[in-house]
Amino acid sequence: MNSPSIEDYLKAIYKADSQGEISSRDIAQRVGVSAPAVSKMLRRLVKLRFVRIHPHTGIHLTPFGQRTALQTIRKHRLLEQFLVKELGYQWDEVHAEAEQLEHHISPLLEERIAEKLGHPSFDPHGDPIPTAEGLMPSIEEIPLHTAELSSHFLITRLVDGDPKLLRYAASLDLLPGATIEFHGRQPFGGPYNIIVKGEPIALAPEAAEQIFGREVRAQ
């Protein structure tokens, strides 16, 4: 496995910040390194002006760091979409491939990929693709397991880090754009009860926590 790059750390900090949970431990988990490795990299990122560390509020990306993180996220998600749409990859195969490729494509190739795909707004997992200007679209969503009982729930995205989860979700037709019914959790920490295309399904808690979307009116 290659050592994580600066871009990997910046992506991890950006994603952690969007969830309000930035800490050295969280960054270490996201990047897959030790806490001492994070401390060493943070010192480097501060010197390079990608990151600032406030004594009270903690770790923050500078505008330069945020712009770099969004550029990398854009490349990653465009590559995922390209691999699925143009090269026939399955959606559970593309994350690891894009992690490798995102560091090696030029701005010109990035733009050619975007043009080929028709400038998509989302990747195969439903994650928004930052614009070429470095803007991240704002999406209102909640985790499936927090939805109201007996609500209709439109799936907008799935967390893409676990290929097994994506294959499991696809086998149940739990894909971005699908609308399901949510009927809460079975007692004593059991599975969640949902209805997909009229069929009742007992959904594993680990899966329900990785599916995001919004409540909608019944059709």
Q: Which pTM value belongs to this model?
A: 0.89
Q: Which of 102, 101, 79 is nearest to 91 (CA)?
A: 79
Note whether 215 and 148 are within 8 A (CB): yes
The domain defined by 6-61 folds into Arc Repressor Mutant, subunit A (1.10.10)
Going by pLDDT thresholds of 50, 70 and 90, the confidence category of residue 208 is: very high
Going by pLDDT thresholds of 50, 70 and 90, the confidence category of residue 1 is: very low
Task: Locate the domains of the chain by residue range.
Answer: 6-61, 142-216
Cβ neighbours of residue 56 under 8 Å, at least 6 residues apart?
A: none
Q: Report the sign of the C-alpha dihedral through residues 19, 24, 26, 27, in that order.
A: positive
Residue 111 DSSP one-character state: H
Q: Does domain 142-216 have CATH number 2.40.50.1020?
A: no
**Helix-, strand-, coil-residue percentages of the chain, each rounded to 5:** 40, 20, 40
Helix (H), strand (E) at residue 183: strand 179-185
pLDDT tens by residue, 136-195:
988 889 999 999 999 999 999 999 889 999 999 999 999 999 999 999 999 999 999 999
Q: Radius of gyration over alpha carbons of the chain, in Å?
A: 19
Cα atoms in the 13 Å half-sphere on the side-chain side of 93 = 8
Cα atoms in the 13 Å half-sphere on the side-chain side of 32 = 7
Asked if domains 6-61 and 142-216 share a fold, the reply is no
Identify the pLDDT of residue 210.
Answer: 93
First to last CA, the chain: 48
pLDDT tens by residue, 59-115:
999 999 999 999 999 999 999 999 999 999 999 999 999 999 999 999 999 999 999
Residue 34 DSSP one-character state: -
